[in-house]
Amino acid sequence: MRDFTPNEMMTIAASRALSNDDVCFVGIGAPSAACNVARLTHAPDITLIYESGTIGTAPEVLPLSIGDGELCETALTTVSVPEMFRYWLQGGRISIGFLGAAQLDRFGNINTTVIGDYHHPKVRLPGGGGAPEIATSCKEVFITMKQATRGMVEKIDFYTSFGHGEGGDHRKRLGIDTKGPTLLITDLALWKPDPETKEFTVVSLHPGVTREQVQETCGWKVRFAQDMDETPAPTELELTTLRDLQARTEQAHGGKRGV
């Protein structure tokens, strides 16, 4: 087995969570690499959907934007943006929404809107795009992000998209009948919500990662499952597939890694 980086482990662990039968709404950022590695390894028939309207896309390289021409050229079909959001997302056709996050709390609520007060922000981030409805209309939501105390925080500054709110049955109380965040994949661990409290709990540490490392890079007090697993290291095929995809992408975009 070759050496691998924590980022590679994150992408590959995320890719393993996707199956051949999934219809996946691919968010901007880290999710796209994971979804395409899944498609190129164990899930060749997975349906990848980008919010630009491309359904069943199979890009040779990772797109730089969610509306790159290659997404359309390799898609089964391309629909308008209103149709994408109305029929396909709101209509309940998507099994998994895959999101990245700038700020995340222990209940899977995401902020990509502002740091500080909304009306007088310290930093104005891009905002939600499709995420507010991806978070509630997909049957379930996977989140992937690199661990850091400024990203994984006790309290997010803005609820761009709703996870489990204050935990427990908060989704149900708001009339949301989808599962919400069911998996968090970081560069150090796999996390799943506690069945009752809905707080993200570490269920698997990536190879060589310690509990201390997970806690040091997380802004809330981390809960660990009683029977924790170790995430299997990337296989030769997974690693080669990811690296080839990234090399093709960098070549195509002149040094840029794509999303």
Partner 1 sequence: MAKFQSLKEAVAENLRDGDTVAFEGFTHLIPHAAAHEVIRQGIKDLTLIRMTPDIIYDQLIGMGLARKVVFSYAGNPGVGLLRRMRDAIENKWPRAIETVEHSHAAMANAYEAGAAGLPCAVFRGYRGAGLKDVNPAIKNVVCPFTGEELAAVPAHRPDVTFIHAQRASRRGDILIEGIVGVQKEAVLAAKRAIVTVEEIVEDFDDLHPNLCVLPHWTVTAVVEVPGGAHPSYTHGYYSRDNASYLEWDKISADRDLFTQWMQKNVLDVGPDVFAARVKGL
Report the residue number, 234 or 258, with the smaller CB distance to partner 1: 258
Q: Identify whether 196 is a catalytic site residue.
A: no
Q: What track of x and - describes contact with partner 1 for positions 59 through 98 (by CB under 8 A)?
A: ----xxxxxxx-xx-----xxxxx-xxx--xx--------
Give the residue, chosen from 52, 144, 201, 249, that forms a contact with partner 1 under the rule CB under 8 A.
Answer: 52
Quick check: 195 binds partner 1 (CB under 8 A)? Answer: no
Among 21, 87, 124, 244, binds partner 1 (CB under 8 A): 124
Task: Encode the chain in three state secondary structure.
Answer: CCCCCHHHHHHHHHHHCCCCCCEEEECCCCHHHHHHHHHHCCCCCCEEEECCCEECCCCCCCCCCCCCHHHHHCCCEECCHHHHHHHHHHCCCCCEEEECCCEECCCCCEECCEEECCCCEEEECCCCCCHHHHHHHCCEEEEECCCCCCCECCCCCCCCECCCCCCCCHHHHCCCCCCCEEEEECCCEEEEECCCCCCEEEEEECCCCCHHHHHHCCCCCCEEEEEEEECCCCCHHHHHHHHHHHHHHHHHCCCCCCC
Q: Which stretch binds partner 1 (CB under 8 A): 189-197, 209-217, 233-241, 249-257?
A: 249-257
Going by C-alpha positions, the residue among 216, 209, 186 that lies closest to residue 201 is: 186
Kindly state whether residue 57 participates in binding partner 1, applying the rule CB under 8 A: no
Q: For partner 1, give the closer residue by CB, 157 or 238.
A: 157
Q: State yes or no: residue 186 binds partner 1 (CB under 8 A).
A: no
**From 51, 60, 73, 212, the catalytic residue:** 51
Shortest separation between residue 168's beta carbon and partner 1, angstroms:
14
Give how many residues touch partner 1 by CB under 8 A.
Answer: 58
Measured between alpha carbons, how far is 2 from 148 in angstroms, rounded to an integer? Answer: 26
Residue among 82, 90, 99 nearest 162 (CA): 99
Q: Which is nearer to partner 1, 190 or 245 (CB)?
A: 245
Q: Which of 23, 133, 146, 168 contacts partner 1 by CB under 8 A?
A: 133
Which of 118, 210, 229, 243 binds partner 1 (CB under 8 A)? It is 118
User: Catalytic positions, please?
Assistant: 51
Residues in contact with partner 1 by CB under 8 A are: 28, 51-54, 63-69, 71-72, 78-82, 84-86, 89-90, 113, 118-119, 121, 123-133, 135-137, 158-162, 165, 170-171, 174-176, 253-254, 256, 258-259
